[in-house]
Amino acid sequence: MKALSLLVLVSFLITAAAECPFSHGNDGGNGGANAPPKEASPPKHDSSPDYSPPASGTPPAAPGASPALAPAASPALAPELAPAPASSVNKTNNGTLSPDYYANICPNLENLVQGAVRGMMASSLIAAAATLRLFFHDCFITGCDASLLIQNPNNDDEQHSSENMFLRADGYKTIAAAKAAVDADPQCANKVSCADIMALAARDAVSLSGGPTWKVELGRYDALGARASDVDLPLTTEDVPALMKRFSAHGLTVDDLVALSGGHTLGATSCVFVNSRIYPTADAFLDPGFSSQLQGICPSNLDPNTFVFFDQSVASFDNNYFLMVQQRKGVLFSDSALYFDSSSKSIVDKFAADQNAFFTQFISSMVTLGRLGLKTAANGEIRTSCTKPN
């Protein structure tokens, strides 16, 4: 079978990933009682988390690679699985968010953004994954303030940091298309923050890929600037305790870590973030057969332009990622680590067995992520161009 059937963040956060949206273990190590030994872990490096395939289109297939799992039927488009938001108006530390914030300012906002996202997804296999990654990478640094979109003249911005260098152009293009669509409506022009457009686009990227939908809380202001030195994202080489140290600093739980990691169900990652797991020998977290498959895709003489899908339903938002993790077929070390830590293993099992449970937690985690570091009129603005301060 083709590698397209073979094997996508966060992020994030987290990541946010995704990328490593798109990771606290209670044992203080790389996992629970059944975890492989610590020395099985790949060496740590300073690379960015995972990212989507190249903007030019479908990642190159690996000849002869067999599927890690039987292809799953794609879920119906944009199912209406969405619990009611925690509250219609959310008082945060920095302001007030509401799904109805633009009701009288830009009443057609959601349709405008969704139309732009749908258009980009029709022309790019990776637009959804890339757009979701941007949201995690933005929120996890200085908060959900669209600082990631700013391009400083000397390139000392978040976008040009080493951790964000592999974010794909398709995500930025999606946000630019949504911004243009919003500003083309005279009632909306220059009245909607880039941060809110990013939040809506991330939701639409998920729902239009067959995942859940939800009411997005709105009312964010945009950052006044961006610095590369602010970027400190979760790494693909970190175990659950290390990831949770980062997540808990933002008020996020282990449930959030696992659910947001499930954003890896969309897209792929470069061999840059895989080779340390399989060369010179495969680490003990990987299924031996899967290690061989990865070696067949990623050459030992590293090719950063070769990619591995996170699961076999690369363009569908579903729970297949957790089935892969269960079977020791997590592509990234941070994926595998979720199943070898006592604090996260049961959550992986729950999400693998019940897709609705994953969707419900993912919604909750995305809403929580979307409340991080909110700016107000006192320390933010509505940028007329997403790429530079007013």
List, as residue ranges, the binding site. 138, 143, 145, 147, 158, 234, 264-265, 311, 318
Residue 322 vs residues 195, 215, 253, 346, 357: alpha-carbon distances, Å: 30, 25, 18, 11, 12
**Feature table: binding site for heme b:** 264
CA-nearest of 159, 163, 144, 186 to 376 is 144
Beta bridge partners of 270: 307
Annotated catalytic residue: which of 45, 137, 160, 250?
A: 137
**11 and 20 in contact (C-beta within 8 Å)?**
yes
SS3 222: strand
**Feature table: binding site for Ca(2+):** 138, 143, 145, 147, 158, 265, 311, 318
**383 and 194 in contact (C-beta within 8 Å)?**
yes
**301 and 294 in contact (C-beta within 8 Å)?**
no
Beta bridge partners of 98: 218
CA-nearest of 229, 55, 225 to 151 is 225
CA distance 79 to 351: 17
137 catalytic per annotation: yes
SS3 200: helix
Q: Where are the alpha helices (DSSP H) in the chain?
A: 109-123, 127-142, 169-183, 194-207, 240-249, 254-261, 275-278, 288-297, 320-326, 333-337, 345-353, 355-369
Residues catalogued as catalytic: 137
